[in-house]
Structure 1
Amino acid sequence: MIEGMPISKIARRLAWLWLLIIIAFFMVPIAYLLATSFKTPDDVLQGYLLPGNTTLENYPAAFRHVPIASMIRNSTLIAVLSGIITLVITVPATYAMVKLGFLRRVIPNITLASYAAPPIIALVPLFFLMQMIGLIDTIPGLALVYGIMNIPVAFWLLRSFVKDIPDDIDEAAWVDGAGYWLTLRRIVLPLLWPGIIATALICIILSYNELLFASAMTFKDTSRTITVGMSLFQGERLVNFGQMAAGSFAGMLPVYVIAVFFQRYLVGGLTQGSVK
């Protein structure tokens, strides 16, 4: 007992206090972004959390200044295509390395080591490669870059899910005459489906939020992503912070929709990849 209060009750209250601090840490920047989207230029310069003079003009002005709607569509399409490319490559490769022992030590080390390198190292060679094959400044080209770039993340997440599938299931299928591809398609994929969804969602979010390659490989509004569009609010002498906040808030909505509706898969994928 401490001052008439059980220790367990104090610990519970401290846990709730710590939880509120964490929630505030993540929610205050979003709240400030939303508040800034309703501020006038003078209110932005004041730096207060809440706007003094609320205005709705930033949202229509932002959509007039930058084609936000088309850029959100581009980002979503590129992210989904890149997720498909990543899974098509990574699912059979992960199964081969984990279950069949195909280059089990060499390929995983190379794959994960490549992800640790700064992305800007690959920017110049990828730029000229995309230019040579005619995919520069195109949605398929950027989706291909993202799809290959996210392979290490997808492998790291899928490896834990594949390991959780008992070896007896694969061996029983092989004994019955099923080949590796048939076993993967008919037996493993249904069991691996939660991991595939979680991996796809994480890779889609990573692709949606990417800026470096998108800014270097896209030049027209028909292929630019929303992350590149946010940089277009930078003027020669000033930054339209109110319009930028409005555009940023509109651009982040698809990611938050994914996070809210698919939270169970996202949490499962992240924890599965971190504890195995």
Structure 2
Amino acid sequence: MRLVPRHLWLSLATAPIVGFFALPFLYLLAVSLKTKDDVLNGHFWPTAPTLANWPAAFEAANILGFIVNSVIVSLLAGSLTIALTLPSAYAMLRLKIGGRWLSDVTLSSYMAPPIVALIPLFFLLKASGLLDTRTGLVLIYGFANVPVAFWLLTPFLRRMPIEIEQAAAIDGAGPLRILLQIVVPIIAPGIVATFIIVTMLACNEFLFASAFTFSDATRTLPVGISLFQGDRLVNFGQMAAASLAGIAPVYLIALFMQRYLVSGLAHGAVK
């Protein structure tokens, strides 16, 4: 009998948090069902619901193509980030390469505003022939998220018992073999959690994608959604429909990968 009030208070305390995160999605859903005039009346729910915005959104822009571009670019960029960060972090933390200053520089590089690198990266991509290509975005996101991945992977590497690596070294294993056959399996939850986070960051990025892509064949979803905003009129209903269609795959992936994300972050927090 004592558990009932406790569960009741827990539900009451959780309800505002759930409402806070659910409200934007409910509002997007409501706007996607409104006409242009209904959007301006100020009501939360539509007075005359309509599904016309959904087919109109897919006719006005290549939403499916934008989603495919976002998925491909973010997955490849996340893989590149992990491939760059894991051996680098292991070399800096375990092999003491670069000293402490290199890890500090790696982390501090993320503090600079991204717009600072916009012009140099534009001319670099133009000179290399990667402007307006998905490959260019993959390279930019892959390198740009290295500091985040380094910050996330560092606790996992530090909490791993070094005696395991020393025993493997005594048996004749080199650093690369130790990393691939011993370190990676042990910190696999942390690698998966880091991969999910950097992939989401790449999927939601707007600044570089808007500056370095010009055609529907390379535009990602955040840039595609911005196309619904005209010079004088914003198609709020179509924009809301496109936004819901675009975030659905991301949230489905996050929902199915949630246990790996939570277990990975918890694994890094417990020695």
Question: Which range is displaced more, 139-148 or 17-26?
Answer: 17-26
1:47 positional shift: 2.2
Query: Quick check: 1:197 aligned with 2:192?
Result: yes
Mark the runs of 5 or more structure 1 residues left unpaired by the alignment: 1-5
Residue 180 of structure 1 aligns to which amino acid in structure 2? P
Question: Which range is displaced more, 103-112 or 57-66?
Answer: 103-112
Equivalent position of 1:249 in the other structure: 244
Out of 105, 120, 145, the position equivalent to 2:100 is 105
1:163 positional shift: 1.6
Q: Tell whether the 8 Å contact from 1:157 to 1:272 is kept in structure 2 after alignment.
A: no
Equivalent position of 1:76 in the other structure: 71
Overall identity of the aligned pairs, in %: 51
Residue 250 of structure 1 aligns to which amino acid in structure 2? A
Out of 199, 223, 227, the position equivalent to 1:232 is 227
Residue 74 of structure 2 aligns to which amino acid in structure 1? A
Equivalent position of 2:146 in the other structure: 151
Q: Deviations over 1:155-203 (max 9, x none)?
A: 1111111122210110011000011011111111111211111111111
TM-score by length of 2: 0.94
Query: Quick check: 1:32 aligned with 2:36?
Result: no
1:122 positional shift: 1.0
Equivalent position of 2:48 in the other structure: 53
Q: Tell whether the 8 Å contact from 1:39 to 1:54 is kept in structure 2 after alignment.
A: yes
Out of 129, 139, 143, the position equivalent to 2:134 is 139
Query: Quick check: 1:207 aligned with 2:207?
Result: no
1:59 positional shift: 0.8
Q: Tell whether the 8 Å contact from 1:157 to 1:269 is kept in structure 2 after alignment.
A: no
Q: Deviations over 1:87-141 (max 9, x none)?
A: 1100101111122222241122111111111111111111111111111110010
Aligned residues between the structures: 271
Residue 154 of structure 1 aligns to which amino acid in structure 2? A
Equivalent position of 1:3 in the other structure: none
Alpha-carbon spacing, 1:274–1:153, altered in 2? closer, same or farther (3 Å): farther
Q: Deviations over 1:210-251 (max 9, x none)?
A: 000000000010000000011100122110000000000001
Q: CA RMSD in A?
A: 1.9
Residue 140 of structure 1 aligns to which amino acid in structure 2? T
User: Structure 2 CA distance, aligned partners of 1:74 and 1:12?
Assistant: 44
User: Structure 2 CA distance, aligned partners of 1:140 and 1:147?
Assistant: 10
Question: Which range is displaced more, 170-179 or 43-52?
Answer: 43-52
User: Structure 2 CA distance, aligned partners of 1:106 and 1:269?
Assistant: 27
SS of residue in 1 equivalent to 2:48:
coil
Q: Tell whether the 8 Å contact from 1:58 to 1:246 is kept in structure 2 after alignment.
A: yes
Mark the runs of 5 or more structure 2 residues left unpaired by the alignment: none
User: Structure 2 CA distance, aligned partners of 1:63 and 1:274?
Assistant: 44
Equivalent position of 1:182 in the other structure: 177
